[in-house]
Structures are given as C-alpha cells and as structure tokens.
Amino acid sequence: MIWWQSLLLLFGVLTVLLLAGLPAGIAFLGINLVGALVFLGGEAGLMQAVRNGVASVTNFSLTPIPFFILMGEVLFHTGLAIRAIDGFDRAIRGVPARLSVVAIVAGTVFSAISGSTIATTALLGSLLLPEMLRRGYHPRMAMGPIMAIGGVDMLIPPSAITVLLGSLAGISISGLLIAGVVPGICLATMFLAWILLSVRRDPSLAPSFSREEPEGWARWGPLVINVTPLVMIFVLVIAAMSAGWATPTESAAIGALATVLVALLYRVLTFASLAKALTGTAAISGVILFIIVGATTFSQILSFSGATNGLVALVREAGIPPLGILAGMLVILLILGCFIDQVSMMLITLPFFMPLVVLYGWDPLWWGVLYLICMQLGLLTPPFGMLLFTMRSVAPASIPTSEIFVAVMPYVIMGFMMIALVWWFPAIATWLPSVLLGK
C-alpha cells in the first residue's frame, strides 16, 4: 500500500469514529486495532500493539502528571483557593475593574500550583462572576478575564498538558515546564494592561463600588497568610528542578506533599476533601494514560505504514522555506483548536510535526512553547473551546452564548500577539531554561 493510501485509510477511519461521537481515547484505540491488523501483521500485530501500549504507560517520565493534578485537586477541594482569592480581594484596591484584576492575578497564582485549567476557570467563574455582575460589570468585562487566565494555566508550571507534550514529543519535560514561565507571565501582564486600558476608555464597563475597606494587617494579613505558602510551593518545585536537586517526577512529588502539608497546617484537609482530591486525580490521570496508550501506538503504526516518512519527504521535496512550514504547522493547530480538544490535537499532529522539527533543527523548547500557546488558544476559540463551555456552565442563563464568544476575542487576539513575540524573539521561551538548566 502506497504511503498516501495508508494515510487516507488511517485518518479516514479516525474521522468516522470521531464524527460518531466517540471519545478521543476510544477512537484512537479503534484506529490502532485497524492499523495493527493491516500494517503490523494480524494477530501478531495486535500483540505487538498491546506490548507497545503497556510500555508507553510505564514510562517514568509520565509520573509527574498525577502529582501535578493532585496539587490542584487538594487546592480546590480544601478551600485553600477560596482563601487566596479573599487575600487578593482585600489587598488589591485603587485600580479600576478590581475584580477583573483579581481574576487575572489569582488565576496566575493558581496556574503556578494547579495542573487543572478547567478547575481554575470553574472556581473563578463560580466565585467572582456573580459578584462582578452584582456590582454592575459588563458581562464581557466579567467573563473575559476569567476565561483568558484559565488558558495561561497551560503555560505556567505545573502543567499536566506540558508534561504530556514533552513525553509524546520527546522534549525535555523540565526544560519545557520552565520555558513556559516567562511567556505565561507576559501573557497575564498583557491581559492586565488590556483590562485597565478598556476601563479607562469606558468606565461603564466596570462601575466603581464603594465599601468599607480594611486597613493594616486586616488588609495585608490574608494575602501573606493564604497566598505566600502557595507561591513558595511554586518556587520549591521550580528550584528543585532547576538546581538539579530533583527530577521532574521528584519535584512534582515534593509539590504535592507540600500542598497536602499546607492543607494540614491550615486544618482544612479533611478525610472527605482528601478522598475527593484522590478520586479526581485518579479519574483524570486514568483518562490521560489511556490516551497515551492510543497516541504511542498510533505513532508507531503511522511510522510502520510509511505515512510519516512519505509526508516528510513530500514536504522536503516541495521546496517550501522552513519558516513557511512552521507557519503552516501553527495554522493547522489553530484551526484544529476551534473544533477538537488539546489532547486530540497532540495525538493527530505530533507524529507528523516532530520529524519536521528534527529535520529543520528547530529548538525543541522554542517550538514546544509555540505549540503550547496554540493549544492555549484552542481552549478559547469558538465554537468548541473547552473554557467557553466551562464559562457557559457557570454563567447565568440570561447571558447568551454569543456574548461569551465576544468576551473572549480580545484575549484570543493577545494570544496571537504572544505567538508573534515568541516567534521573533525566541529568548522569551529559551532564556529561563538556559539560565536555570543550561539548556
């Protein structure tokens, strides 16, 4: 079978399964069964696919994923996240659209300790959105920052998606985790600047709200007590990796243990909250590991069928400049992000993209950050951005879905601007790993 015929067969079956509404993991399991029978040799091929799948999920580099997820689950189920929001709300004053600013700042801190993007958006939406609307905030000013900062979670470590990308793409996990810090902070800063500029131009977007403000320790105490430990956990995880004291897995374990100890210190870790956190961690980790089985086997089948090498050879012989190839890859990711989830994007594109990254000698950390930003935009782009659906679930029914789409668009545009900045100034992504890890 010619390579392009193999490609059409595999992606044809995959498209049918996805259109039938099957979850990505099940769809890739189905395509792997077909591929193993056709390209790996019947029953022997099926046995080889099973062995490959088992080997993929016993990879030690994947173990940070459940630890990072556990950190976020403990943070949300024990109420530590709510305490942190209260600390920011008391401390931040004298700025327009204060609650929108609180959403950005608090969301950035949560991104530095939680591996769950959806959980961050759901928490901020359920706590801050009703209060914003009560104070007369325009729905766009209320919803936009909450959705936007949820996407930053993918860039700032710890991030389970980043670990998954590093594992599937063969990129240094510790390097990729650290590479996302500066772009993530830059993106959050752009969001803050947009909020302040918008309210200065049109104060009706966020009317001023007067209340009795605490002073002294009553103002700053909750910030020091409830936020400082969370920031220290982030510093501990990054320092352990960058100083070489611990591997990414060990750093993730240290972070998870520190989060549990903080919850114990604050006397908010109950048996019920711990059980919920562990159950949530097991459920999310199980889904991710199931998808990894499908992704790894699918990549091997594509390679064995000749589809990967055929496509790479076609691109090389076409004479397209490397930057043109890179632009095409990013456009494909942005288009896919409008329709499918981020994990499915990785499963579909990485088997073809990584050989091209190697062929053209691109810095894998730089390319990985561009990939992450595109996936972050996929969370926000209509019609199927995951964070749009999360906001729909917490927003009042009186707010139309179209208003949610409009609210997020300025932040999508800023995401495009961040792609351009990282493209033209790679040091935004590579400087911090080079300083901390020498990569």
Pairwise CA distance, residues 247 & 198, whole Å: 43
Tens digits of pLDDT across the chain (439 residues): 677 777 787 777 777 776 776 776 777 777 777 777 777 777 776 777 777 767 666 666 677 878 888 887 888 888 887 788 788 778 877 788 888 988 888 888 776 666 567 767 777 788 788 888 988 899 999 999 999 887 787 788 777 788 888 888 889 888 998 999 999 999 999 999 999 999 999 988 988 766 666 777 877 888 888 888 888 888 888 888 877 788 888 888 898 899 999 999 999 989 999 999 899 888 877 777 777 777 667 777 777 777 767 777 777 777 788 889 899 889 888 887 776 667 777 877 888 888 889 888 999 999 999 999 998 888 888 776 778 888 888 888 888 988 999 999 999 999 999 999 999 999 999 999 998 887 6
pTM of the full structure: 0.79
- Count CB atoms within 10 A of the CB of residue 216: 7
DSSP 212: P
DSSP 204: G
Using alpha carbons only, give the angle 419, 156, 61 rounded to the nearest 5 degrees.
105
Pairwise CA distance, residues 184 & 275, whole Å: 31
Cβ atoms 377, 416 nearer than 8 A: yes
Buried b (16+ CB within 10 A) or exposed e, 151-165: bbbbbbbbbbbbbbb
Domain boundaries along the sequence of the chain: 61-436
- By the 10 Å C-beta count (0-12 exposed, 13-18 middle, 19+ buried), 79 is classed as middle
Cβ atoms 342, 161 nearer than 8 A: yes
Amino acid letter, 418: M
DSSP string, 8-40: HHHHHHHHHHHHTT--HHHHHHHHHHHHHHHHT
- By the 10 Å C-beta count (0-12 exposed, 13-18 middle, 19+ buried), 438 is classed as exposed
- Count CB atoms within 10 A of the CB of residue 64: 33
Q: What is the distance between the terminal CA atoms of the chain, rounded to a whole angstrom?
A: 42
Q: Which two tokens stand for residue 187?
A: 């993106």
Secondary structure class of 108 (helix, strand, coil): helix
Residue 180, C-beta contacts closer than 8 angstroms, at least 6 positions apart: 154, 155, 156, 157, 159, 162, 369, 372, 429
Find the length of the chain. 439
- Count CB atoms within 10 A of the CB of residue 44: 10
Cβ atoms 230, 109 nearer than 8 A: yes
Pairwise CA distance, residues 52 & 234, whole Å: 35
Distances (CA, A) of 92 to 13, 189, 333: 53, 16, 37
- Three-state helix/strand/coil letters over 60-106: HHHCHHHHHHHHHHHHHHCCHHHHHHHHHHHHCCCCCCHHHHHHHHH
Q: Where are the alpha helices (DSSP H) in 266-306?
A: 271-305
Pairwise CA distance, residues 43 & 261, whole Å: 50
